[in-house]
Amino acid sequence: AVVGTGSPKPIPHPLSLCSPLAQSFSLKAQVKEMCTACQKTVYPMERLVADKFVFHNACFCCKHCHTKLSLGSYAALHGEFYCKPHFQQLFKSKGNYDEGFGRKQHKELWVHKEVESGTKSA
């Protein structure tokens, strides 16, 4: 007697696309993150995130003096990153955070109220 007439069933590959193991090691191309400073691909081992911006460790530098920054040694304003000494030198000492960036000063955005003379009580 002949047993098993017909074509044999194919044996599934251990990493077939239906297996849970294959899904965890998917061959799909993952979204590449780009460094904010150099616009090159950032790989997980060299990834640094500051204020929702992604950098290479080596690209995270002060805009003014190009000193390498760390997450504990930077100050950010309007998407620009500075070392703490230069941030204080450039902005805090003047008390003006907008002038150094070529933007309108914040005080120009305030609505000026006319002071009515003679309405104040003594």
Q: Mean of the pLDDT values across residues 25-36?
A: 71
- For the domain 44-93, what is the CATH code? 2.10.110.10
pTM for the model: 0.52
Lowest-confidence segment of 9-23, 43-57, 92-106, 108-122 by average pLDDT: 108-122
Q: Is 44 helix (H, G, I), strand (E, B) or coil?
A: helix
Q: Is 42 exposed, middle or buried (0-12, 13-18, 19+ CB in 10 A)?
A: buried
The Cα–Cα gap between 104 and 112 comes to 16
Q: Where are the domains of the chain?
A: 44-93
Higher pLDDT among residues 35 and 114, named by residue: 35
